[in-house]
Structure 1
Amino acid sequence: MPVDQIPIGTFSQITRLSQKALRLYDERGLLVPAARDICTGYRYYTFAQVERGIRIRHLLWLGFGLSEVETILDARERGDAGTIRDLFRARLAETEREVGRLHAIAEVLRVQDPLNGGFRMSITEPVIKEIPSLRALSRRERGVYQEAIPRLIGELCAYVYPADGRQPAARVAGPIMFVCHDEEYRETDADIEVAIPITGSVNLDGSAIEVRTLPGGRFVSVLHTGPYGGVGKAYERLFAYMGEHGLAPAGPSRELYLNDPAEVPEDELMTEVQFPVTDLPLSP
């Protein structure tokens, strides 16, 4: 065996990639052995391939999938830094979302109430409200709830309260709200709208923000106090109430954020959940 050929077992030890993984990378063309024994099929690598093997392991450790690893390594060979930057930026955003989710889980576990599913919270009894139509600043897009909602809130707040000291772009007439247009929960590609009720004139100045009228009508409402992660219990209570009173959803639900998470502890966060409703038809 030539001195510059490394058996797959030794190469596995050097790169910290299992032999099973190396066989898979060979099949995918990601890391093809420099030589193969004709009789046994045994794989041999060169010292020049060690760097690529270590780079693959590092990218996998960062959380990239194999297809992304292939794209990154191909881009590196072409000198395409832009593609690599875009992939790293997307991976960073995904990692930060996961970090935020894990921090929220850790906080719930730290202060959990075992008899209440891990949440310190309270939910008021549902009430029926007649809510007028609302003129509102709105931003709507598809995305991931945990990332899109706080970002869209930030964009609307920055527009209403300019950081450069200019006069507010609009007069706020109610709490920030999230309007859910999907009929089911979506991990990705959710139809997300964030809105702030306003009065008076507003200058959009070419912004992606728009002014629209949120429809009024009859809504069933509850007030949830506690971490945002427990708001699902409010929906559970609303749907139970609708079933008990012969009501059916008649449009998108709304979550109204009544205080600022930067100013109050998680267990004091107040979220009003509203659902437009209509009477179910009477059975014949």
Structure 2
Amino acid sequence: MKETLSIGEISALFNLNVQTLIYYDSIGLLVPAERNPKNGYRRYRFDQIYRLATIRYLLRLGYSLKEIHASYLESRDIDSTLEQLKKQSGILRKKAENLLNTDRAIQQKIRFIEQELPKVDIERVSVKEFPERRYFPIGGEELLYGDDSFYLNPTVVFYKDDSKYFGAYLFDDGENPNQQKETTDFLRFPVIPAGRFLCGYHQGAYEHIYESTRRIRDAGGEFDLADITVNFNIIDQFVERDSKNYITEVQIPIIDSEEHRVRLLIL
């Protein structure tokens, strides 16, 4: 067994880039036992591989190099190690939960687009009936871009006169309804009331959506229509760069009863 190993041998042993080992040396994390004064070649004692293995292990657990160097390597004992591992396990579980929730939102958005896009007929206006639908409330446009829900979920926009209110649509395609309710505390979120809606589509930039809304309202002149419009962004700026290709479904609630009218007032 060799007493010392070259930086190349250490690199091959751990499948690490030589530059990584040079960096570890520069910050004092893994300093070679010997350095040739003439050519600067580094050599490491064989037992230094255990220190490097510990560094790799801690990096795999999610510790930063700063954390490893500042405290962990020099203060290990069974009690402190177990305490640190429990703490790190909690951090990793939280990260994993956040990643799973993000992936669920992404999958829901994919399914929403794939389900809604084939239905699009830009000129058609029709009456559709929907069950209750839930959304995560975001608020006005000034709050929109600071909320991660806006980026991950399909966007629903409530228009009333000149005001707009944004939400993240909690699209439920029925594939994992119980899982969704558990992970998002589904029933806490506000509801778009069930009922009939006069529906049509807008294609293009959002600044011109009022023109499409007027066209759809005109087409449904025989209905008693709410003054609220519920718009679902199917193709938006996150999936299409050209605003001319944005597609939004415009849904205008049809007021069938006084009870329905009251419910719409609290949307």
Q: Which band: TM-score by shorter chain?
A: 0.3 to 0.5
Higher share in helix: 2
Q: Which has the larger radius of gyration?
A: 2
TM-score norm. by structure 2 comes to: 0.46
TM-score norm. by structure 1 comes to: 0.44
